[in-house]
Amino acid sequence: MSRIGKLPISIPEGVTVDYRDNVVTVKGPLGELSQKIDPDIKVEIKDGIVRVLRPTDQKRHKAMHGLYRSLINNMVEGVSKGFEIKLELVGVGFRAEANGQMLDLYLGYSHNFMIELPQEIKVEAKTERRSNPIVTLKSYDKQLLGHVAAKIRSLRKPEPYKGKGIRYVGEQIRRKAGKAASV
């Protein structure tokens, strides 16, 4: 059996999980999420525990077994605790300002980037003296949060020579040696 797929998902207090017509709906204090499930995969909810079951040991069923268990687990964790991603802007003159759902980024180009974020995502930009600006994104939807963070990062990916660009906090950038001086 799938190691991830066979793990049970415990439902925390204040969270409700509903399974109807191949759609799992999870409601909690932070929000509501739903996910369509393949008709072959069965979801069983009993005594505050969710189990994902597969009909056979086909390769396709094994793959979906672990996938849907992870998706449901992320939904339960998201509506109860939420997720957070921090982005660091490394570069001279790089700035970030957050105004409601608008994120204004100055990334060393001749123009700035105004990004309107979805309502599910809360944004916070913090700049302290002598440190790089940090943009914090918070949401209960892990998929949407990762997608938005990747889009923001793609505006100025970290380059390998000086390390300038937008990176995740704690991300290691492989650095390259510059051009060798000729003698």
Number of domains in the chain: 2
The confidence band for 3, taking pLDDT boundaries of 50, 70 and 90, is confident
H-helix or E-strand spanning residue 95? strand 95-99
- Pair (96, 145) in one structural domain: yes
- Pair (163, 98) in one structural domain: yes
The pTM (predicted TM-score) of the whole model is: 0.89
- Pair (60, 91) in one structural domain: no
Domain of residue 130 covers 83-168
* CATH number, domain containing residue 144: 3.90.930.12
86 DSSP β-pair partners: 136
- Pair (133, 68) in one structural domain: no
- d(Cα 102, Cα 57) in Å, to the nearest integer? 47
Q: What is the pLDDT of residues 46-93, one digit of tens each?
A: 999 999 999 999 999 999 999 999 999 999 999 999 999 999 999 999
135, 122 contact by CB (below 8 A): no
Least confident segment among 1-15, 86-100, 144-158 = 1-15
Of 35, 56, 80, the residue at which a domain comes to its end is: 80
- d(Cα 62, Cα 40) in Å, to the nearest integer? 11
CA proximity to 25, closest of 50, 5, 4: 50
